Amino acid sequence: MVYHLYNKSIADYTIFNNNVEFERIIQAIRYYQYLFEAKPSTSLSYLIKRKIDTGNPVMGPCDTGGCAAKRKRNKLIEIIAYCIMPTHLHLLVEELKKDGISIFLRNILNSYTRFFNMRHNRKGPLWEGRTKRVEVKSDEQLYRVTRYIHLNPVTAYLVEKPEEWRYSSYKEFISDIKDSDRICKYEHLLDVEPNYYKKYVNDRISYQRELAKIKHLLLETPPQLRRLDNGLDQAQVQPTRLGR
């Protein structure tokens, strides 16, 4: 099954402030796709320290030789798409093992919380609560969710074009990137032709920005008026069928 996952910081606190922090959560996403035996030598922080001390790349304890097959068997989830925003993150994942998503989320969120709290000399939770998840049930929905995820920084006016945002999987969809630099694996689910996909995403920019503005206005509307507005929408705007 494929799910769109979303979580945000407490009180919309900015938890990704610079390249170091963005890259740390991306490292966690890459690393904790796999299930490792719980011990200090398999923690991401230990491996990053080892990289600093030795100059070796950050890899899991079972990345080479005969261990590679075992590591593949221990994959919890497949990352299809992602986007990291200053206050929140979006992930589109396929669950490969029972409870794989729950284990993956617990590992990446706890890992980043420990890193952030130490870095900023703070204590306590960082995330708002349980990660929201929505099952993706069709190919059309799958394409739309990837587009929505990749347009997040454009919708928020952080950049003008999605490829300008470094902290998403968009470039994996539109560029020829080395396998070693890829995080996502989507070819078994999505047939992506880079030029077509780029147009598919760019054609939605204006609409998604307008939709975000409307949503923001509705959130500022008193609840009783919001209910009235929704009722009018339902009464006056009826869906139409193609060919009728």
Residue 15 to residues 11, 105, 125, 131, 239, Cα–Cα distance (Å)? 11, 17, 12, 16, 40
How far is residue 98's CA from residue 23's CA, in Å, rounded to a whole number? 28
**Listed ranges 105-119, 174-188, 207-221; the one with the highest mean pLDDT:** 105-119
Range 206-211 average pLDDT: 90
Provide the pLDDT for residue 74: 84
Provide the pLDDT for residue 180: 81
Range 74-82 average pLDDT: 95
Architecture field, domain 2-58+72-230:
2-Layer Sandwich (3.30)
Q: How confident is the model at residue 121 (pLDDT cuts 50, 70, 90)?
A: very high
Under a CB-based contact definition with an 8 Å cutoff, are residues 85 and 79 in contact?
no
Q: How confident is the model at residue 78 (pLDDT cuts 50, 70, 90)?
A: very high
Identify the H or E element spanning 91.
strand 88-95
Share the mean pLDDT of the chain. 81
Range 104-131 average pLDDT: 94
How far is residue 18's CA from residue 61's CA, in Å, rounded to a whole number? 28
Query: Which tens digits make up the pLDDT trace of 134-163?
Result: 999 999 999 999 999 999 999 999 999 999
Provide the pLDDT for residue 49: 52
Whether the per-residue pLDDT at 60 is higher than 70: the answer is: no
Domain boundaries, the chain: 2-58+72-230
Sheet-wide strand order for 77-84:
77-84, 88-95, 2-8, 132-136
How far is residue 171's CA from residue 119's CA, in Å, rounded to a whole number? 29
